[in-house]
Structure 1
Amino acid sequence: MSKEGSLISKNAEISGVYTMESNRTTLAGDIKELFKLIVLISNVVPVFAGFWLAIYFTGSTLAAHLDALILTIAGSTLVMSGALILNNWFDVDIDRKMARTQNRPTVTGNFSLKAVLWAGIILSAAGMGLLLFTTFEAALYAFVGWFVYVYLYTMWSKRRFTLNTVIGSVSGAVTPLIGWAAIEPASHIVPIMLALILFIWQIPHTFVIAIRKYDEYKAAGVPMLPVVHGFEITKRQIVIYIACLLPLPFYLASLGTVFIVFVSALNFGWLIFAIRGLFGKDDLKWANKMFLFSVNYLMFVFLLAIVVTM
């Protein structure tokens, strides 16, 4: 073979390797976008926390319920994945108009909408099936969360009402109940209060996102609170909801003084930060900081609940 032919062959080989690597990177990115990986992880942590705390308060051990743990985490992850995928499938027209969602494979066309629809249905059904091998109550909470997120939030309220945020918050709130109910009925004060914390937390967290992405939601015609009623009303609502978190740690005295003190400090810090936003002039800068605080708040609360009971 001539030197020129060797070079052509070598370049083709290198080009093929780059293409394969590029395809792998694109596929991984598409899957991450489709499953909303960060959202998925933030929902699985409270499931595990609920499961762990149920074991702690029943005086059992993780080893004794290892099979239930695997079924609970796998089942809840599949159900939530299915719900998130169905959200992407239904919202493809909105996602085309929003910069932060234009890379989703449903928008780019990398995944067909039919395939996405079936993936959402199959994963949801498979997750429900696995959870039924734990307890019916755990599967019931998962179904409630799925139904609220897919139908009541995505398909019904998101495009109609500013209350879509409150409605959607129910779906995230069931996660610690799923984990706890896999061990015993979730009528205990601990899973109920953790669910309430999650429910309330999601509302100011989502309002802050809506302020940060105001232009995108407005362009897509999604009636988020700041789009319909403006920033001032939204900021006042954020303050009110965060204030509602203040008494909740005291209902979790069974988790110990350390938990109460640290979570109360977080609540007061978040509230002061929110109040400052009422008098600030740079709403976007404030919203970005509030967003970071709220994300870390959630992970800290549930990880702390696990740590203090180890």
Structure 2
Amino acid sequence: MSKSELAVRTKGRVTFQELKQIIKLGLVQGNLIPAFAGAWLAVVFTHHSFLGSIPQIITMVLGSTLVMGGACALNNYYDQDIDRVMPSKQNRPTVNDRISNRHLLILSLGMIVVGEILLFMLNIPTGVIGLAGVIGYVSFYSIWSKRHTTWNTVIGSFPGAVPPLIGWAAVDGQLSILAWALFLVVFCWQPIHFYALAIKRKDEYAMANIPMLPSVSGFKRTRLGMFLWLFALLPIPFLMQSLGVVFVVLATLLNLGWLYLGMTSFKSTTNESKWATKMFIYSLNYLVVFFALVVVMTLINMI
């Protein structure tokens, strides 16, 4: 592409829709759900006043949004070479040159710095956890594991699971077994969610030479990995018995429903891509329903 062509394509301000793509707003919003749930449980179980904790929760949400959005923008900066190869990424502003690398770096690093300042204003543990999440996502996942090992999804699950820890620490300043249980839920959820997506895009990842498990080892090996994480989810509600028996039962039924859906892949007539789509959709609903249960059941128990 010539300099004149590039100038034309980068002319004008980035739109809000393009900004949402750059910071992966959908992913950020999804991570705010467990972050809020962590803060909510900290309020309830450490006997803080909810009204008195609202400034902390708002600061946590703002800080987390900026940190996660900045990390995602930095990921988009680093992934430009592989995104240009993958058909599903062609509308990203980082691919079609709607934003320059200089502006992208300013945006991403600026968001991370401001977000971390807000998190450290709450307390040191919250800021440290947020910083660990950024470093884990950008360096250990984006820069290293994503391009070098089929364990990339699992490695990326560690930084991806810190939002509930940030939420809890923002209110209480330390972590409890409940906070770690929420961490485990998000940690085990992520490989299933992203393996389902990777099955649908295995050809794209192969084109980009990214060693995603479905592209390297095939459907059966990926399905086995998904089942291992589905089974890993089963005991976690029992670590959260302080939320009540009803919660444990409902959360277990939610896990069993996902496991049953996974079992349908063994039918001889199963279409792998359609099954992966169903698993992906269930994963999105799972995250919302599970953490909604966390909040609703504590409210019911308080009545």
TM-score (norm 1): 0.90
**Structure 1 contact 235–278 (Cα < 8 Å) conserved:** no
User: Residues 144 and 278 from structure 1, CA distance in 2 versus in 1: closer, same or farther, beyond 3 angstroms?
Assistant: farther
Please give the alpha-carbon distance, in whole angstroms, between the structure 2 residues aligned to 1:212 and 1:102: 17
Instruction: Tell me which moved more, 277-286 or 46-55.
Output: 277-286
> Aligned to 2:291, which of 302, 307, 310?
302
2:53 corresponds in structure 1 to: 65
> Aligned to 1:232, which of 220, 223, 226?
220
Gaps of 5+ in 2: 1-10
Q: Give the aligned residue type for 1:81.
A: G
Give, in angstroms, the shift of residue 217 of structure 1. Answer: 0.9
Please give the alpha-carbon distance, in whole angstroms, between the structure 1 residues aligned to 2:16 and 2:173: 38
Instruction: Tell me which moved more, 243-252 or 269-278.
Output: 269-278
Please give the alpha-carbon distance, in whole angstroms, between the structure 1 residues aligned to 2:296 and 2:144: 39
User: Residues 111 and 206 from structure 1, CA distance in 2 versus in 1: closer, same or farther, beyond 3 angstroms?
Assistant: same
Instruction: Tell me which moved more, 61-70 or 89-98.
Output: 61-70
Please give the alpha-carbon distance, in whole angstroms, between the structure 1 residues aligned to 2:25 and 2:117: 22
Please give the alpha-carbon distance, in whole angstroms, between the structure 2 residues aligned to 1:202 and 1:267: 14
> Aligned to 1:207, which of 183, 195, 203?
195
Give, in angstroms, the shift of residue 25 of structure 1. Answer: 11
Please give the alpha-carbon distance, in whole angstroms, between the structure 1 residues aligned to 2:136 and 2:89: 22
Please give the alpha-carbon distance, in whole angstroms, between the structure 1 residues aligned to 2:296 and 2:13: 36
Aligned sequence identity (%): 41
Q: Give the aligned residue type for 2:247.
A: F
Please give the alpha-carbon distance, in whole angstroms, between the structure 1 residues aligned to 2:39 and 2:13: 35
Give RMSD over aligned pairs.
1.6
**Structure 1 contact 138–182 (Cα < 8 Å) conserved:** yes
Please give the alpha-carbon distance, in whole angstroms, between the structure 1 residues aligned to 2:67 and 2:121: 14
Give, in angstroms, the shift of residue 140 of structure 1. Answer: 0.9
**Structure 2 contact 244–297 (Cα < 8 Å) conserved:** yes
SS in 2 for 1:308: helix
2:211 corresponds in structure 1 to: 223
Q: Give the aligned residue type for 2:77.
A: W
Q: How does 1:189-200 map to 2 (within 5 A)?
A: 189-200=177-188
Give, in angstroms, the shift of residue 251 of structure 1. Answer: 0.9
> Aligned to 1:292, which of 254, 276, 281?
281
State the number of aligned residues.
288
SS in 2 for 1:153: helix
Please give the alpha-carbon distance, in whole angstroms, between the structure 2 residues aligned to 1:73 and 1:134: 11
SS in 1 for 2:122: coil
Gaps of 5+ in 1: 1-22
Q: Give the aligned residue type for 1:295.
A: L
Q: Give the aligned residue type for 1:140.
A: V
**Structure 1 contact 158–223 (Cα < 8 Å) conserved:** yes
SS in 2 for 1:217: helix
**Structure 1 contact 236–278 (Cα < 8 Å) conserved:** no
Q: Deviations over 1:259-290 (max 9, x none)?
A: 21111011111111112213443100100011
1:282 corresponds in structure 2 to: 271
SS in 2 for 1:162: coil
Q: Does 1:251 align with 2:239?
A: yes
TM-score (norm 2): 0.92
Structure of higher CA gyration radius: 1
Please give the alpha-carbon distance, in whole angstroms, between the structure 1 residues aligned to 2:146 and 2:160: 15
Q: Give the aligned residue type for 1:242.
A: L
Please give the alpha-carbon distance, in whole angstroms, between the structure 2 residues aligned to 1:309 and 1:103: 42
